[in-house]
Structure 1
Amino acid sequence: MQIIDKRKALMIPPLLRLGFRPFFLLGSVLALLAVPLWILGLFGHLGSLQPSGGWLAWHRHELVFGFAGAIIAGFLLTAGQTWTGQAAPSGRPLLLLVLVWLAARLAWLPLVPGALLVLLNVGFFVLVALTLGRMLWAVRQTRNYPIVVVLLLLALADAVNLLGVWQANDAWQRQGALGAVWLVAALMGLIGGRVIPFFTQRGLGRVQQVAAWPKLDWALLLGSLLVAVLHVSGVALQASWLVAVVFLALGVGHAIRLVRWFDPGLLRVPLLWSLHLAYAWLVLACLGMALWHAGLLGNASPPLHALTVGSMAGLILAMLARVSLGHTGRPLVLPRGMAAGFILLNVAALVRVLLVEVWPALSLWLAMLCWAAALLIYLGLYAPMLCRPRVDGHPG
């Protein structure tokens, strides 16, 4: 509150006062629309209507670079102000970032040149990285420099993916999208490793937080970055025992964290069990990928969707529900009905991971409906908060 002019800040429209507001809102709207559109396109219900590169290319890209990218940007641009004491983008600078993100979504229209699709999408991640990097550099906060590195690697993965779309190269599309998925997992491990035990301790009123294990934290970050690079390079697209060992180590490391963080009291608090459950999906995803690379699982799709639906979307929804309360000046009391949203999203993950091989079409439609219902609940409860001033009268 001491690093900005309160009078000027309160003159800014509420939606543009901090990064979490527009990016949480727009990212959630994109997620709500993207999965139903993908299912409708997959089953041929949209006729000849399709984005550049087709529905599969769009689906691969938008749920990682579009949806997760927006949430990551909103979270980091907001958290960066807390971490550094430097004013985060608001007003016109924030609006510029939002417009770049929106233009990148519209660049999927068929008549837009492929070069512009690449430029806008990659440029968005570069701009976010430079913005956060400037804030961190101003106070020489080396602890968070790895986050900027991950953002730049996301820009690289996005370039590989979209060059694949532009050149109709399916291998490049897969390399970029899968690499990005594991870069997001690296951020989930990095940020989740800090906030999940802290939120658990605060939420349960425990006196002492679980002690960090820096060596394990670094090992998980570097391991996640390694598998991301192996995917971007194409090495991990084929089953490999060496990659299986890396995934097994990641799964065991994340499981150790989860056990250390566990407190029976969290099972009574949706704001907490939703975080821990999302992290458990990350453990399952890593172990599932280890099985696939070892030749013990016939399809890599189930562990991939355990990561994207169960862990990535699950952690995003849980974080949105908490961060949106705290940063709008509200007490950390979950609105009535939001716990049902957490449950629906996890049902979507269970159906997508476990039942698709048994009832393909029915399972996809059911997973889509649960996903959409979960996002609708969040938007119905939280969109008004994101568009209105803080309830305590402060800027932000």
Structure 2
Amino acid sequence: MTAACQLDHTDFAVSPLLREGLLLFFPVAALHAVLTPFAWVALFSLALPFAHDIPVSQWHAHEMIYGTYGAALAGFLTSAVPEWTDTPARRGRALLLLLALWIPGRVIGFAGLDALIAVAAVTDLAFLGLLLWYVVAALLARGSTRHASFAAWLMLFLLVEAGIYAAWLTGAIALAERLIHTALFVFLVFLSLALARINIVIINLALDPSGETTPYRPHPGRQNLTAGLVAIYAVAALVAPGSTVPAYLALAAAAAFFDRLAEWFIGFAAFRTHVAALAGANLFAGAGFMVIGLAGLGAPLAATTGVHILAVASLGLAVLSVFIVAGLRHTGRPLELPWQALAAVTLMTGAGLVRVLPEMGIGTFLLGGHYGLSASLWSAAFAIWLVGFLPLLRQPLKGVDGCH
């Protein structure tokens, strides 16, 4: 047994979910995605019982980004970074500590407890700070800077979170709104960087399931172009929101995401669920930035519609795709998707379309009720993934990481 397997053995012997970060945090993120929007719609009617000073829309957005997507990010980084750096993965108590810091903010955000913002700020920042240390420690142990961009963007994600809480505590609600949008764009950069790496593996396995050959090679200039343009747009949108500069930069980011779709010109293999889902995430990202750019230039569109395309459709589909692919690969299974994967991807696509199309003049009969319907479809997508994949995560096949 390796030294990595000996870490906190008494902890993860109790639960297989403590063997690796994604085995714990992906189900946690999915559970949060299932329960929170459902409760907001079914119990609170999109209101929050204790939210008075902070707009409900900001609580909702914050909990999606730093709650659901934050847990997903923790699962991804605590698994991917050790794999990339060939260092021992965090297990057992280290993961439970991270989870314990994530939970208080979710309880407070669930009901919009304005009075406990300071508590949420401390625990959320501690959660992101500990996650950052786990990433940096692996890079330092390896003496590598190859994946340092993830540490840099995680630091920025933490700083933006600090800014959001500071704005809430001082009553700067308009600034908090802009910072929440910035956090969304930072997370899009994370997904762009991650998918640039994941897509290489997925497309090659789609072309050659045996894994013996790698017929696909990505275009070097295309790999990080979307992340770079999103970053530039985010800065412009934060510092010059009234200018047309962000609008033009949004259109440039849209063009980069649409250009990236060329990577999926691989024949019929592109129609496999996990391959098409990643393409769909890029397609929605391009559409979201296009709407934001056109709205900024005076087109009869709302920029918030573009933001929701990014938050619900693009990021939702991207995160779900990572859950599906990693849920199989990191439990020692081939990419043979169960029916729950197709159902989850279909529901997530529906959630994105229902959320934005009525606001663009398509299906206007859904206006008003489309918020609740979209949230229900979004929750259902993660619920089906959770039901289908939790048994797989709890029972990894032998030989996954050498721990038996």
Tell me, yes or no, whether TM beats 0.5: yes
Corresponding letter in the other structure for 2:92: G
Instruction: Give 1:19 shift.
Output: 0.6
> 2:155 aligns to what SS in structure 1?
helix
How far apart are the structure 2 equivalents of 1:367 and 1:111? 26
Which stretch of the first structure deviates more once superposed, 141-150 or 355-364?
Answer: 355-364
Distance 1:356 1:245, change over 3 A: closer
Pairing partner for 2:367 from 352, 355, 360: 360
The superposition leaves residues 329-382 of structure 1 with CA deviations (integer Å, 9 ceiling, x where unpaired) of 222211123201111110111111111462322222321222122121111111
2:278–2:318 contact (8 Å) kept in structure 1: yes
The corresponding residue for 2:150 is 147
1:256-335 equivalent positions in 2, closer than 5 A: 256-335=259-338
The corresponding residue for 1:199 is 202
Corresponding letter in the other structure for 1:106: V
1:356–1:363 contact (8 Å) kept in structure 2: no
The corresponding residue for 2:76 is 75
How far apart are the structure 2 equivalents of 1:341 and 1:323? 15
The answer to whether residue 237 in structure 2 is matched with residue 235 in structure 1 is: no
1:152-171 equivalent positions in 2, closer than 5 A: 152-171=155-174
1:51–1:58 contact (8 Å) kept in structure 2: no
The corresponding residue for 1:37 is 39
The answer to whether residue 133 in structure 2 is matched with residue 125 in structure 1 is: no
The two structures, once aligned, show a CA RMSD in angstroms of 2.5
2:189–2:227 contact (8 Å) kept in structure 1: yes
How far apart are the structure 2 equivalents of 1:298 and 1:288? 7
Distance 1:271 1:193, change over 3 A: same
Pairing partner for 1:190 from 153, 169, 193: 193
Distance 1:352 1:302, change over 3 A: same
The corresponding residue for 1:22 is 24
Distance 1:181 1:313, change over 3 A: same
How far apart are the structure 2 equivalents of 1:296 and 1:56? 24
Distance 1:321 1:245, change over 3 A: same
Distance 1:176 1:44, change over 3 A: closer
How far apart are the structure 2 equivalents of 1:51 and 1:395? 50
Distance 1:2 1:273, change over 3 A: farther
Q: TM-score, normalised by structure 1?
A: 0.90
How far apart are the structure 2 equivalents of 1:194 and 1:209? 15
Instruction: Give 1:267 shift.
Output: 4.0
The corresponding residue for 1:376 is 383
Distance 1:79 1:242, change over 3 A: same
> 2:194 aligns to what SS in structure 1?
helix
1:159–1:176 contact (8 Å) kept in structure 2: no
The corresponding residue for 2:56 is 55
Instruction: Give 1:44 shift.
Output: 6.3
Instruction: Give 1:314 shift.
Output: 0.4
The superposition leaves residues 116-156 of structure 1 with CA deviations (integer Å, 9 ceiling, x where unpaired) of 22111122112111111110122122121011111011111
Pairing partner for 1:385 from 369, 375, 392: 392
1:281–1:311 contact (8 Å) kept in structure 2: yes
1:198–1:209 contact (8 Å) kept in structure 2: no
How far apart are the structure 2 equivalents of 1:8 and 1:113? 33
> 2:147 aligns to what SS in structure 1?
helix
- Counting aligned pairs with the same residue, the percent is 25
Distance 1:58 1:209, change over 3 A: farther
Distance 1:143 1:284, change over 3 A: same
1:38–1:55 contact (8 Å) kept in structure 2: no
2:251–2:293 contact (8 Å) kept in structure 1: yes
Distance 1:330 1:104, change over 3 A: same
Instruction: Give 1:51 shift.
Output: 8.4
Corresponding letter in the other structure for 1:213: H
1:18–1:90 contact (8 Å) kept in structure 2: yes
Corresponding letter in the other structure for 1:227: Y
The answer to whether residue 218 in structure 2 is matched with residue 217 in structure 1 is: no
Distance 1:7 1:287, change over 3 A: closer
Pairing partner for 2:232 from 211, 226, 245: 226
How far apart are the structure 1 equivalents of 2:59 and 2:95? 26
1:122–1:159 contact (8 Å) kept in structure 2: yes
Corresponding letter in the other structure for 1:293: G
Instruction: Give 1:183 shift.
Output: 0.6
> 1:334 aligns to what SS in structure 2?
coil
Which stretch of the first structure deviates more once superposed, 61-70 or 376-385?
Answer: 376-385
Instruction: Give 1:166 shift.
Output: 2.4
Which stretch of the first structure deviates more once superposed, 153-162 or 290-299?
Answer: 290-299
Which stretch of the first structure deviates more once superposed, 51-60 or 63-72?
Answer: 51-60
1:154–1:183 contact (8 Å) kept in structure 2: yes
The corresponding residue for 2:5 is 5
Distance 1:169 1:143, change over 3 A: same
How far apart are the structure 2 equivalents of 1:211 and 1:81? 24
Distance 1:128 1:102, change over 3 A: same
1:53–1:166 contact (8 Å) kept in structure 2: no
Corresponding letter in the other structure for 2:5: D
